[in-house]
Amino acid sequence: MPAYTKDSMSHSLQTETRTRLDFEPIRECLAQVELRKPAGETSLLFSTHDAERIREIATSRDGMLEALQERCREIVAQPPDDVEEHTTYVRASYAHIVAMGYFFLRDAEFAAWSKCRIDALLGIENWMYPAHREFCKHTCQVMTNIGSWIARAHDMLAPEYSAEESRQVAEGVRQRLILPFLDSVRERVEWWTGVEHESNWKIMCYGETGLVVCEFVEEIPEAREVLVHAAQGVLELLDRVPPEGDWPEGFSYWIGTLNMGMQYATALRRLTDGAVNLYEHPAFETTGDYTMMLATPGKSVFNFNDNRACVQPMQSEGLARLATEMNREDWMYVARMFPADTPEYLAYAPESAPSREPERATALFPTSGVATMRSGWGEHDTFVGVKCSASDVPHSHLDAGSFVIESSGQWLVKDEGYWRYGHLLGFFDNERLRWNWDGLATVGHNTLLIDGQGQTFGKDYAGCIRSLESGPGWDRVTADASKTYPDLLKKFVRTVLFLRPDTIVIRDVVECEGERHAEWLLHYAGSIRSEGLVSVIENSGVTLAVVPFLPDRAMGWRSADVKSDSTYLEELTQEDVTETMRYRSFSPFRKAEQFEFLFGLRVDGEHDGSDWIFKDGDDGWSLEAAGQDLQISPEGDAVSVTER
């Protein structure tokens, strides 16, 4: 559940000029088009025919309906009126889950419980989440989440609702969401309503509120006005998507909230009998590439920023919906990597939907500052991700120059990613308190500490990916994090060279402001041990041998294993939680004005480092890896690769 302050919105995506979807014809159409659900249909998101097909698919899936039934039984064992303002966000989602149980199983008890839970939610006068009241005037995303869950639950419970009951639900939602939303958007008084605003809140709030009105269009007098505002807000956010299709907040926040915008686009298209089709916006044609290339062969996700490495059902739905709408079989391949047992996923990713393995192996998203490389898409392939970007974007971490490695389905070098929110303790206070959380600060990433200090937040301290280049058997990313350590560093350029299929070389060129102590961080998954100078990471039988070549050992060499537990009050449960972080650091004894780090990392490599040939002479160094007909040598701040 994201939360921001106005100050966290300063970064501009600096999108290039691109074709946008003209909004004025949409505005004119919504002013006069007939608004009604398709004849004989009850659902806004799929047809009655599709609903029957979805149920047939669910019946054929081993254990799906049994697991759903068990989950619903656990929920309905709780009193349906057990809701209060701190837990409304979670408790509202249960109404949707149990309604989904009714949709598949036609269990009357599930319908009755879900209806009672909706009534209880409508008994709460103000849906705004307490932590959001300090910076939201009328509407926050928790309010739109609650409204969307109620609307979608009502959609699936349609046979159990009388016309009068539906009118009562609609009026309750109108008072608690629709009218506050109009107060927010008519004069754009909320921070998330700006024309050029850039966070997932915008597409979430506009998209979900639009979906709610689509469900109750006949009972809400302000329906047309809301539909216009919602369409405009969704399109304005899509206008901010860079040409490459990426979004700096990362995978989970983007595809999850994009799906909320797409749910509205689907419902609005059905409601207007195809007259309004928001899917015509050109951003939809590219943004699936971003989510596709952040997915790993091991069915995980490069989870930089506050993102999870797993994929949740609403994100799976988004992948499948986007692939279907854009007719992209490679995107569908990725959607199938993350199956979900929900009606929408089954509607958009049936077994009959064609898919094919993506052809792309590398990708650079310069606005997000992310590059990915892989040896392939198979279960034993290797994935390498690099992150170096601006920090003044929502959900950012101080992680410029960080990298991750996955191979044979196992993370070996990882990103700490998602830590549970502690909003009341300053989790989103980017100027100061946020960086007390180790997993968000530089110490939580595979980059450098200088004199024990990390990077600085702010628009003036951005990193960037200089280039992604490829040649026969190799891919190379060069990242520049020189501006991210003000008053500590003049230069920090990192080159990550991937020698396909399983070898990585990392070179850092560092120039300091005076003499400094430099520490090279490696966050590992699984376990780590030392075999001489070689560090061996092992996770579920897959190993990564990490061999240091520079700095020279004449300066002394230190490695340290660090484990820290961070305990704090979590936002949703109001209970103490503990997040654990482990890393190994490497550093020379002495301070210096310049450093050069050089590491070789090899999946299932020799644990004594004997599969590397390193030479260091007056003319500079060279490095070769056994089984590779390539020689690596320094070239300016980066590295060159030549055939032997």
Whether pLDDT at 424 is above 90:
no
The tens digit of pLDDT for each residue in 139-180 reads 999 999 999 999 999 999 999 999 999 999 999 999 999 999
Instruction: Please list the residues that pair with 528 across neighbouring strands.
Output: 537
Whether pLDDT at 15 is above 60:
no
Structure tokens at 295: 């997915």
What φ, ψ does residue 178 adopt, rounded to 5°?
-65, -50
Segment 399-417 mean pLDDT: 98
Segment 449-467 mean pLDDT: 97
How does DSSP classify residue 638? E
The tens digit of pLDDT for each residue in 118-127 reads 999 999 999 9
Side-chain half-sphere CA neighbours of 589 within 13 A: 6
The tens digit of pLDDT for each residue in 575-630 reads 899 999 999 999 999 999 999 999 999 999 999 999 999 999 888 999 999 999 99
Whether pLDDT at 446 is above 80:
yes
Contact 505/639 with Cβ under 8 angstroms? yes
Which residues lie below 8 Å from residue 408, measured CB to CB, with a gap of 6+?
Answer: 298, 379, 380, 381, 382, 542, 603
Whether pLDDT at 196 is above 60:
yes
How does DSSP classify residue 557? -
Tell me the H-state helices in 77-158.
88-105, 108-122, 141-156
Give the chain's mean pLDDT.
94
The tens digit of pLDDT for each residue in 369-402 reads 999 999 999 999 999 999 999 999 999 999 999 9
Q: Which helix (H) or strand (E) holds 520?
A: strand 518-523
What torsion do the CA atoms of 126, 127, 133, 136 make, to the nearest 10 degrees?
-110
The residue type at 195: V
Structure tokens at 387: 């992150």
Separation CA 163–CA 107 (nearest Å): 21
Contact 555/592 with Cβ under 8 angstroms? yes
The tens digit of pLDDT for each residue in 233-288 reads 999 999 999 999 999 999 999 999 999 999 999 999 999 999 999 999 999 999 99
Which residues lie below 8 Å from residue 615, measured CB to CB, with a gap of 6+?
Answer: 621, 622, 623
Separation CA 581–CA 524 (nearest Å): 9
The tens digit of pLDDT for each residue in 24-45 reads 999 999 999 999 888 777 788 8
Q: Report the pLDDT value the prediction gives residue 18, as an integer from 0 to 100.
A: 52
Separation CA 382–CA 376 (nearest Å): 7
Whether pLDDT at 317 is above 90:
yes
pTM: 0.94
Quickly count: other Cβ atoms within 10 Å of residue 432's Cβ.
9
Q: Report the pLDDT value the prediction gives residue 14, as an integer from 0 to 100.
A: 42
Separation CA 620–CA 606 (nearest Å): 25
Q: Report the pLDDT value the prediction gives residue 5, as an integer from 0 to 100.
A: 34
Separation CA 341–CA 64 (nearest Å): 7
Contact 22/273 with Cβ under 8 angstroms? no
Q: How many helices (H) and strands (E) does the chain have?
A: 15, 21
Angle among Cα 27, 31, 35 to the nearest 5 degrees reads: 110
Whether pLDDT at 4 is above 60:
no
Separation CA 8–CA 594 (nearest Å): 34
> Which of 264, 207, 269 shows the shortest CA–CA distance to 35?
269
The tens digit of pLDDT for each residue in 77-135 reads 999 999 987 778 889 999 999 999 999 999 999 999 999 999 999 999 999 998 899 89
What torsion do the CA atoms of 359, 362, 367, 370 make, to the nearest 10 degrees?
130
Structure tokens at 231: 């369409």
β-pairing verdict for 362-365 and 592-603: unpaired
pLDDT tier, 6 (very low <50, low <70, confident <90, very high otherwise): very low
Share of the chain above pLDDT 90, in %: 90
Whether pLDDT at 13 is above 60:
no
Whether pLDDT at 7 is above 80:
no
The tens digit of pLDDT for each residue in 474-491 reads 999 999 999 999 999 999
**Ordered domains of the chain (ranges, CATH):** 21-348 (1.50.10.100), 362-612 (2.70.98.70)
Tell me the H-state helices in 338-444.
343-348
Whether pLDDT at 17 is above 60:
no
